Amino acid sequence: MPIRIRQHVNPLSRKFQQPIEVPIWQEIYAKSDRSMHLDIGCARGRFLLEMAQLIPETNFLGIEIRRPLVMEANRLKDELGLTNLHYLFGNINSSASVLFQSLPANTLETISIQFPDPWFKKRHHKRRVVQPELVDILVNYLVEGGKVFLQSDIEQVAREMRDRFSANPLLTQLHSDTWLADNPLPVPTERELYVLGDNLPVYRVLLQKS
The pLDDT value given to residue 1:
46
pLDDT tens readout for residues 91-114: 998 889 899 999 999 999 999 999
Q: Are 147 and 170 in contact (CB under 8 A)?
A: no
Catalytic: 117? yes
Query: SS3 for 139?
Result: helix
Amino acid at 101: Q
Q: What letter does residue 110 receive in the DSSP assignment?
A: E
Q: Does residue 180 carry a pLDDT above 80? A: yes
Query: SS3 for 187?
Result: coil
pLDDT tens readout for residues 3-61: 555 556 765 556 555 778 899 999 999 999 999 999 999 999 999 999 999 999 999 99
Q: Give CA angle at 32 (94, 140), nearest 5°.
A: 45
List the domains of the chain with CATH numbers.
Answer: 32-191 (3.40.50.150)
Instruction: Give 3-state DSSP helix, strand, coil % of the chain, rounded to 5.
Output: 35, 20, 45
Q: Give the distance, in angstroms, between the CA of residue 129 and the centroid of all CA atoms in the same chain.
A: 10
Count Cα atoms within 13 angstroms, Cβ side, for 20: 28
Query: SS3 for 66?
Result: coil
What mean pLDDT value characterizes the chain?
A: 91
Catalytic residue among 33, 117, 153, 182: 117
pLDDT band at 120 (very low <50, low <70, confident <90, very high): low
Of 20-29, 123-132, 195-204, the one with minimum mean pLDDT is: 123-132
